[in-house]
Structure 1
Amino acid sequence: MQLAVNMLLKCSESNLIERIVWLDDQYCYVVNINEASFPYQLTLEEVIESLQNETKVIVEQDPFVISVEDHELTEAELSKREFAWAIIQSIYVIPAIFDSKLRAQLIKEASEDFGVTKKTVRQYLKRYWARGMTKNSLLPDYMNCGKTISQEKSFTKKPGRPTIYDSAIKRAPVTEEWKKIFRGALEKHYFIKSKPSLKYAYQQMLKESFSKKDFQSGVKVLDLDNAIPTFDQFYYWYRKWYKADYVVRKREGQREYLKNYRAIIGSATEDAKSIGVFAIDATIGDIYLVSTLDKNNVVGRPTIYLIVDIFSRAIVGVSVTLMNMSGESVRVALANCFDNKQAFCKRVLNMDIGEGDWPMHYIPHTILADRGSELISDSLTSLTENLNIKLSNIGPYRPELKGICESYFGILQQHLAPFLPGAVQKDFNKRGGKDYRKLAVLNIQQYTQILVRCIIYYNHRYLEGYPLSKAMIEQNVFPTPIEIFKWGLSRGNGRLIQLSSEQIRSNVLPTGDATVTAKGIRFAGLYYSSKQALKENWFSQARIKGSYKIKIQYDPQDVSVIYLRHDRRNYEVCHLVEYQSMYKNVTLEEVRLLQLNRNQQQADFEHVELNYQIQLAQEIEAIVQQAKAEDDSSLPKDIKAIRHNRKMEKELLINSKYEPNNEPPVFHITPIQKNKLSLFQAKQKEALDDDYQT
């Protein structure tokens, strides 16, 4: 039985739930999450024995997991969290924090340094341990009380301290119209490469929007008949809207920001003597793939992400996608890294692997990455901070700092090239070379299955020349990536954290906007349904009142399901509607490519359809003209005997259909019908004679 930090253990005979907060060679330090407490020791043998005897069971669902972005938090929540986080970081020294005497001294020093009571510091520590040991575990429980304000407070008069001295300038509270003027002035006069002062932008705003032309001098002067904003009002909204990093990027440029202003978190060699430093990188695969939905459509070359533990050289995560290198594709790779690989292979790849084939589903303490734009975005920075992961970006043109990850791309693709049709060889794009696009037969799911099999092989291969440490030699550790990883995990030095699938989904998977319609929850052109939506008649309401937007999370590797977020803790799985079941186990990018192809087909067929419409109109008009030419307009229509005429016409059609020679049928006229016909002809003759005489 393998224990890990952040694992939850529940006693079978009571409601006691304990969280593992640290492991060493002999002891397991746990806390009671229901009644926040300091850690207490349990021997490893005792914990493992209780799990084997089932007196304790592992809890998969963490009741304190929170998924929230920084922009969703109030300023008070952010301030309290950051303050508590600073205190935790200042005293969280392992293993001293787990010794009661040393911990007391650390708490006392933090109390003096931050100007708070020792009781407050102890509460922060207990809360940090009980709620998952992440930054967001220190958030106050404001979400459980109060009522959110839907809009900013409005004022009837200018807020703030009243002016002491009278002035000819009128003052007023900031309106929505003024806010638009403020934004326009900042974008036009402040966020420019010449880097003028904020005063300059304020003066230019007054000249353009709050001045009028003086007819005597011909120059612009302040419009004193109307209210004019103060510089403090202008400065307040500038600080409220724009963060410091955004200002630097806009005025200095992205390159200067990354060079001199970005955060520096750790180094590439941090914790090199233990597991937990994961390197991530991406490349374009040397193979052409076909669509999962239509084998005749070539979708191009995939983007491959690999995540490698530097210490053990084990591949801990992989992602094969048709997306470009972006923050969304990085999230997919991280989700695979943190997820249970056996469950992932079954769910996404429809593939069975053993529990011990790829038992790596932990969160590292450091991610080592290059300076690609997809790895330094605000959303990923927020993601790593929320999961307490350090993101260490190496300098430009320094691939050797994560050479293990770089080399795996060449090893894997060279290994696979002889086996795979559609694999790109060295003569690609050369005169006389093959067109490997025409040889493609594998889709993205099949290629990923092959890649996973290779990864399992390389994680179990013998590492020739691996520098085993003295402790590893003494414990007879076999030099394979998976055994080295297990050895590092058993020592607890890597400080790896384990997350449940719900936590991975809520923290890592990308978010998007879906629309509730009468047909279902529409996302990426597909429709989904859920138990709650059916129970609460969402689709009927949308048909009556109109569609509306909701926030969802999705896995770009499989569009079979999306995840509906009810609040910070609760999610619901939404499945594809039945008539769209053909899209199961299909990637989001393949769905988008199919939709683009269909739209292009419709555009290509547009002129053909218009020609059909024109031809149809001409054929209808020709038939009508022929009917008009055969019609004797001099004779009136017999509308009184419609029923009799209809009967005669039906007999004519039946006889003409079944008679061998299709000769017209012979109608027998009764004496009464003959008299009516003679009378009609006489009346017709009289009418013609009258017309002739006139």
Structure 2
Amino acid sequence: MDLALNKVLVAPSTSASGQEPARFTVVEYEYGSDMVVLCQQIKKSPRKPFVHRIGSPIKFSHEGYRHIINWDEFSLESQGFLDGVHTQYYRDMRLSQNIPRGDGDKIKAYFDRCQKLEDKVKLKLRTVEAFEQFPQRRKAFFNGDIPTKSLQGLAKSLGVSYDFVWDTLCRYYAYGQCEDALIPAFGNCGKNTQLPADTDEARRQFPKGRGRKSKSTHAIKRIAHRGDAETVKRFKQNDLPTLQYHSMKSLCRQYNAKYATELLFEDELGNKYWDYVPEKYLTPQQFITRLEDACKNRAEFERIKRGAKEFRNKLRIKKSTVMKHVVGPSHMYEIDATVLDVHLVSKFCTEEKLVIERPILYTVIDVATTMIVGFHLSLNGANAESVTLALFNAMTEKESFCKQWGFDYRPGDWPCNHVCHTLVIDRGAEYLDKKMAALIKSKVGLTSIQITEAYVGRAKGTVEGLFNKLNRMCIHALPGALIKGRPKAKADTSNHACYTIDDLYHILVHEVIAYNKDTVVKKKLTQEHLLNGVSPTPLDLWNWGLEELMGGGKTVDPKSLMAELLPKRTGVITDSGLKLKKEKITYQTDNKKFEEFRQEIVLQRYRSGYEVEVMMLPSWNQHLWFKMGQESSDIITFEVADTNELVKNLHFSQAIEILEELSVFESNARHINAIEESIRVKRQIDIANSNIKQLRGLLRSEGKSPAKGRAENTNADRYAQAQHNASIVQSAISGLSTNN
């Protein structure tokens, strides 16, 4: 056998593998010597050159099989390493012979690809040159004696990885020891690959299949062709719009079920027997590739892959921030609700511990400063009543409200009683279009309402981020807290519940005031703030901006504000008093002005019923309120005439589902006063210990798990809260107090 440098030893074909024969390049040989250096040609995973004695059998692995073949069975061939497809592709790129036609971006991308490929080849060539500077290093590499640290030092000096050096050297010696041996085979892969026209052409081009074998069946997946691409395109146009959102694998199953199955036969009983068609079946990866090709752009594919909701919420391009449209404090408020992650107990526990439903927290926050301007807790689910009271709390003074819940209020602790210019809401059922439109037309001062896109939580990023921060700082540390993702404990978390709704009000008031004072909000700072020495806390930003940018802001009389915020109903004036339309409950009052007005209505031309607009709380039916004329400031309070006909707990729809996960809001809290925080936590612990001591002697509900019976347990607390809400309305209308 006439051995020479770069000649190739070709092993005989073996029936076991059924693949192309193994090939070994002669890397180094001296005439008359009995030793030769060989290197096996494997594109995917290059093998290291090795020293072999001429005439001895060669042991090697090929296509997953181990072989031992005698030396005499090998044939010797001369190989032109410069005639490969990848080499020709690289040369054409360097000579700019295949410049694509089209717009400038396409041509620029082509030249960028050319330059990237050329730079990679040059880097590999520098690696080989640096390695072969020392002949003893080459010999040690062939003999397997080269230290790993030597190659690691070489890789570090070149700024590449150890694997990159190893792969480059093996390819260099296996494919001719020249620059062209380092060219990757990019010319016949990726976007340059052209699918066969049909199944027959695919079999002719790839008679032994393509890709790696299956681990289970050792079968090669069939070759996709242009017919599959047309079928997937038809599936996208005709079938995909009728399907709900599923994963890619589920869509692939739907595709194969319709286009890659056939009916074998139907028996006498009408049972149908189906089987798949191998020539039409697509693997999930093949289906995904064909589906991506069928889409107009990457955005359309991602919308199908992730679903329209997630695509709009996470992948939509952010063009600007909300601060671009905000003048200063009290210019724009955001309002939103969340179900708090904490279990509560009824404050009417007498004989047993009653776990009630989790409350919903409505929060109103100022966009310009992230100042929490108001909040409200609801046990009646998401409804317009809670929105009313949250906005009322945000736009009225807080002294009486704070004192009611046990906070020693000092002037300036929570100076938020201003009406906003713009209110940002979502598409929740509690934000009724008619109610909001009437609020704009009123004399309160609100001039516009922005309704965010459905399912896009980041459109209200300020208030959404606050919910996350509130959970981390306070709620998740309370007994009875429900932490999502935490391993399931032996006992339900509601077993640890000990706070009532009143206790939660007490805790939140302290936490909100501490948040407004201590939280650092660097993103809200401007150059004007820095020049005037304004601290980056919500309270300082609010106080400075309200005077310097908003002229002190706008305030409204609580009575007028409540009259505009209360939900409206249609009432009918009758002989006996005032009734709600389509309701049998009669309301009466001792007000002389209304009695004169009613008598005039009844005795004249409106005997069948005179309709007027009244105000009421959906969850409280013992009172309603009537305004005497649009220009009048007199608001008359009505009480139900017959308490036996009360319909209790009438309210809007129950709690709406929270459709969006709370986005993470990271803030710097290094200025939080540790002493005040410890005092707040101590106060919470004292309340918990006191309540636990009182609840310890109560009986638990027999035969009930903690998760059951909460709706029934909540009734008494709901009634008490509704009574309290009505007292707020009555106080505002009477002008005695706004929150007490």
Same fold by TM (over 0.5)? no
- Tell me the TM-score normalised to structure 2 length: 0.37
